[in-house]
Structure 1
Amino acid sequence: MMKILVIEDEVLLRANTVQILSFEDFHTIEAENGLLGVQLAQEQLPDLILCDVMMPELDGYGVLVALRQNPLTSAIPFIFTTAKASYADLHQGMELGADDFLSKPFSADELLAAISTQLKKVVDLPDRGK
Structure 2
Amino acid sequence: MKTILIIEDNYDIRDNTAEILELADYEIMVAEDGVQGLYKIKERRPDLVLCDILMPKMNGFEVLRQLKNNPSTVDIPFIYVAASVEKDEVLMAMDMGADGYIGKPFEVEDLIEKVREKMALLNRE
Q: TM-score under structure 2 normalisation?
A: 0.97
Q: 1:128: which partner in 2?
A: none
Q: Alpha-carbon deviation of 1:124?
A: 3.0
- CA displacement 1:23-69 (0-9 Å, x = unmatched): 11111000000011111112211000000011000000000000111
User: What does 1:108-119 align with in structure 2 at a 5 Å threshold?
Assistant: 108-119=108-119
Q: Within the alignment, does 1:34 sit opposite 2:43 as a pair?
A: no
Q: 1:20: which partner in 2?
A: 20
CA contact (8 A) 1:42 1:72 kept: no
The alignment-based identity, stated in percent, is 36
Could you tell me how far apart the structure 1 residues matched to 2:124 and 2:117 are? 13
1:123 aligned counterpart, secondary structure: helix
Q: 2:45: which partner in 1?
A: 45
CA contact (8 A) 1:45 1:72 kept: no
Aligned residue type for 1:17? T
Could you tell me how far apart the structure 1 residues matched to 2:68 and 2:121 are? 17
Q: TM-score under structure 1 normalisation?
A: 0.93
User: What does 1:51-66 align with in structure 2 at a 5 Å threshold?
Assistant: 51-66=51-66
Moved beyond 4 Å, runs of 4+ = none
Could you tell me how far apart the structure 1 residues matched to 2:122 and 2:70 are? 17
Could you tell me how far apart the structure 2 residues matched to 1:71 and 1:85 are? 29
Q: Alpha-carbon deviation of 1:120?
A: 1.3
Aligned residue type for 1:48? L
